[in-house]
Every structure is written in C-alpha cells, then in structure tokens.
A and B are shown apart, each in its own frame.
Chain A
C-alpha cells in the first residue's frame, strides 16, 4: 500500500511539471492556431537560461525563474512579430513546417553555443526530501509542482480577469469581431506567443532541476506536450494541468504495474484514444 502511495505521489509531482509543459503549447495552439513544433526547443532554451543564471550569476533557481521567463517572453514576442505573424493566415500546415524549421535552427545554435555536455541545475536542496508517513516527497519535484500550479492559476486569472486576457480570448474566438472592438491583433498575437514561450521556459528551468539539459531534449518534450495540451483542451489552463496530472499518474502506474517500457505506449495511446473518442469537443475548435 505504501508503494502505491509513493507511486501516486511520484505521478502527481511529475504531472505538475507535465502540465506546465503543456500550458504554453496549448495557449499558442488554442489562441493563435499555431502548432508549435519548436515548443520543446523553447523549453530547452529556458532550461539553459536558468542554468546560466544559476551557475554564472549565482541566482537561486526558483528565484531566477521569473528572469528566465522574462527572457523567453522577449524571444517569443520577437519570433511572433518577425516570423510567425507572416504566416498566421496561411494553411495550418505551414505553421507546423515553419516551427519545425525553427526547431532545427534552435537545436543547432544551442549545440554550437552550449555544446552537448549534460547540464544539471543542482542547488543544495535539490536532493533533499521530506518523508510523510513513509512516502518520500522530494523538495525539488514538489517545488516544481507548486510553481506549475501557481503559473497555471496565474494564466487562468489573466485570461479571465484582465483586459489583455479578455482581448486574447476574444481574438481566439473571432478575430474580425475583436478587431472591431479595437484589439490590435499583431500585438495580442505577439504577447500570446511570448507568454507561451515564457511558460515553456519555466518548464525548462524546472526540468533542469529535476532532470538534465542537453540541446536534444526538445523533441520528446514537444511530443509529450502535444498529448498534455490535447488532453487538457488546449487553452484551458486548469484543464491542461489536469491533463498533465492524468498523464503523470498514468505513466507512473503503468511503469510499476505493467512494465516501464510501456510508458510511451501509454502516453501516445492516450493521445490517440482521446482524439478519436472526443472529436466533438475538439472539432468545434477546428
């Protein structure tokens, strides 16, 4: 029974981080209709940003997170303004391809600048943990989980309560009508993509604390983010966190009770099943 409890906790903590990964992708997809194949690369870049903030400037990772997010926001804003805004109205296939090209370029540049060495963000508290009735809760994973919840909550509040957030939702629903109400689509699009990049960057930084960073971690993470974003309903922050939790728990349970080599089958199997079984809810967004 204790083993079950431990696995459940593991899954939940992992799921929080998963949810954060899906958050940025879902936002960009739901609002901008851009399927960002470079999402994993943005996660990776955010990870490096936090790594260098920690190792070169000595800033504690959890404190440095907002800085890394800011840097990624700027990057995302520029990308949208300079490149992505040019193809927003083309076929969606083109956004897939453009972002794929960007991904290739980012990985190459990362390799050039940072080399292929493994980078870990190892603050002194990284390995510590607290034991609650026999279940071990690691500090770093728990911190990542909390950050994910906070960011999701913040995103939810921004989208619901703030003016910019309402503008973003309006643009997502009906661009023409939003324009009539005075929304500047270029700016809103850039802000949204910037926010998506910032969230990806946060996920990357946290990933560097619990795992390690190389230029090549992006590909698998993009794939996972797809699953999580779709499970959660794209631009619904709380749903995406839920999606992440579902995936995290499912993977943890499958690894123990089935076989650890089945994790990919579970993740992508879930994706395919959800897509096939709930098309009505999603088709409405097509």
Chain B
C-alpha cells in the first residue's frame, strides 16, 4: 500500500513539524503521480524526494544564516490527473504555505504545474520535464534537472559516426506529445548535420497500442538504424510487435525510454537484448555526493529501502532536493527571490552529476549511450567508447 505511506508520512512530518516549535523546518512541496497512468514512473519521484530529504536531515539538515533547519516534505498524489495536480500545487503554495516546490513527472504536467510556481513566484526545481517548451517561456522561477529533449539522441548519433560498419539510413518513429516532439525536432537537425538519411519519419499518437502499420512500413524501407521516442508502455509494444512481425534494423535500434528501467527489462525478458538507449545517470563511483557518498551508495540504499532499483528519474529527483539544500544554504535566507537567484548560480557535484543550470533554467548533462547485454545495462559511449557494443544487433531469427 505504498501510495498510503507517503501522505501518511507527510502528515506525520507535518504534525511533528507543527508540534515541535523548536525544530525549524523548510518544507518542500510537490504533487506527484503516485497512482494512475503515470504511477509507474511517478513513484520514482516520490521515493527519490523522500530518501534524499531523510538523508539530508540525518546529516544535520540545512544551515541557513547560522541556524539549523530540517527539511520537510509535503507530497500530494495527483492521480496522474494534470488538472488535479495544478490545483494541488496552488494548495501547496497558498494553503500549506510550503517554502519551495519540487516537480511532477512528465513534461505535460511540469508545463502546467510550473505556471503556478511562476505565478506565485515560488522557486520550483523539477526533474521530470525535459521538453524545451517548459524553458522557452521566459519563466524565472522554474528550473529543471533533466537535460534538453532535443539533445537526447546526440550522443547516440555521435557514436553512430564512429561505428563500423557506419550507418547511413535512419527511421525516426516518435510520439506526438510535448517531450517526444522536442526529441524528434532536435534529432532531425542532428541527423542532417551528421549526414544521415531519414528514410522513415513517422509520428504516432501517444498511448497508441498498435504499431503494426509503422513497423511494416519500416520493414519495407529496411533502414540501418531505428530511433524511437515515446513512453515506456509504447516502447514495450513496439519491441514485442517488432519481434512478432520480424522487423529488424540492419544495424541497431535505440529508445528514449525503458532501457535504463528495471521493470521494462523484466517485462520484455530476453526480447530486451541488444536494445540501445540513453541515460543522463548511472550508479557510478565517480559521482561523488555530499550526503550519500557516491551514486553507488545511493543506488544500494534506495534499493534496500524501496525494493526496486532507481534509475535516472529517481536520481534526478534526489538532485532537485539537493539543489535546494545547497541554494538555500548559499542564499543564507528563505526569501524566495534570493533563493531563486542562488539556484540560478548553483554549481556542485552530486550523485546525479554536475548540477549547473543554463540561463533558461535547464540543466545541461550529456546522455550516456547504454545497451542491454545479458539483461544488464552496459554503458557503451559517452565522449568515446566505454565498452564494446554488440553491433550489429542480431536479427530476431538469430536470437
């Protein structure tokens, strides 16, 4: 009954926060999709926020202008209903009077909810929305820890340039929601610059379950590479239907979601092999962190506490909380405007990576190309090759 735990915990925290007047608290608020259509990924955010807040408090909380503060978390379940989420954000700001805001999952929700942050001038650091739309409105109070959507395939395309045999033709299949359209637009530019030919460029309605027509078209064009952008459920369908229709890219296929996530690999079983993907985060020792030690520690503790492995969503969520901790301490005050300025100039190492925001509020992190080999996620390429890719990928008939 995990969904019950978070509001109960939040309630308990709130009560305890109110009861002990000596404990100074900074409350972070968010409406996250704990139930509903997006709960599958939404829970990474709720849990990521929780574990980070707890850890920061364990290590002494946040020092603001000489006084010690504890962090508190107030989370509502938006039930994957965007409109409800917006109302909950208003409640967080106007009624619960939280100090600062964390974000939901998904670009569409982040787009809507960030309006509240800007309207009420309360800083929001969100790690769930990557679409360029979020950051192109000139808002001052919204920051994001997911790298820009239009760059998602950048490292993959760079890698393709260094592979042998070198791919020449590409099929681009993307969903039509905000995030994936951004990805597709950016990818088209990158492909042109790299001199790759786009032989299939199809968009599908999000939540689509049937790819048979698109797959049959792709098969008839026989591309070297398939680049796919959408959500996890759709990716699952695409791969399984590709298998049953015996559609194989000549050289490789890559997906914007799913590959780094454990239950995706579990649902596909052996069919997940060879799939390429990308992630801005991997649990690596080199990612040092002031509170968790390093990303490996974070990964271990997260799994121990929540019984499932974190992926970049959870790490991004953790980074959001840490950003506030750093910025508030740097600002030396809880004043929203000053904290907002502190966030804009923040620059530190965390378990998620190097946190520094561009002028438009979005972080800039490179995506590491990963591949599923023997059921495991293997980092393949960042600036150069990190491991040997299994390339060209084996066609279905030979697996």
Contact = CB atoms under 8 A, between A and B. Distances in A.
Interface of A: 2-3, 6-7, 10-11, 14, 108, 111-112, 116-120, 122, 126-129, 131, 136, 138-141, 210-212, 214, 216, 220, 251-253, 255-256, 259-261, 263-264
Interface string B107-149: 0000000000000000000000000000000000000000000
Contact of A212 (B216, B220, B236, B245): B236
Interface in B188-238: 202-205, 207-210, 212-214, 216-217, 219-220, 232-233, 236-237
Interface stretch (B34-42, B46-54, B96-104, B320-328): B34-42
A111, A112, A127, A256 interface centre (most CB from chain B within 10 Å): A127
B67 interface: no
B176, B240, B241 interface centre (most CB from chain A within 10 Å): B240
Which 9 A-B pairs give the minimum distances between C-beta atoms?
A138-B244, A255-B213, A127-B243, A10-B212, A116-B39, A260-B204, A256-B213, A6-B216, A116-B40
Contacts of B208: 260, 263
B181 to A, nearest CB: 11
Given A127-B244, A260-B208, 13 more contacts: A7-B216, A14-B210, A116-B43, A131-B246, A136-B244, A136-B245, A139-B244, A212-B237, A212-B267, A251-B213, A256-B217, A259-B202, A259-B203
A7 B244 contact: no
A261 B203 contact: yes
Contacts, number: 118
B205 A120 contact: no
Nearest to B261: A118
A211 B217 CA distance: 20
B205 A256 contact: no
A117 B244 contact: no
Contacts of A259: 202-203
A136 B246 contact: yes
A141 B211 CA distance: 13
A54 to B, nearest CB: 13
A126 B216 contact: no
Contacts of A108: 35
Nearest to A17: B210
Nearest to A207: B209
B212, B233, B240, B267 interface centre (most CB from chain A within 10 Å): B212
Given A129-B244, A260-B205, A117 B220 contact: no
Contacts of A10: 212-213, 216, 245
A255 B214 contact: yes
Given A10-B213, A260-B205, A141 B236 contact: no
B70 to A, nearest CB: 31
A119 B267 contact: yes
Contact of A216 (B36, B202, B220): B36
B214 A118 contact: no
Contacts of A212: 233, 236-237, 240, 267
A200 B394 CA distance: 38
A121 to B, nearest CB: 10
16 contacts: A10-B213, A111-B35, A116-B39, A117-B40, A118-B40, A120-B236, A120-B240, A122-B269, A126-B240, A211-B237, A216-B37, A220-B209, A256-B216, A259-B203, A260-B214, A264-B205
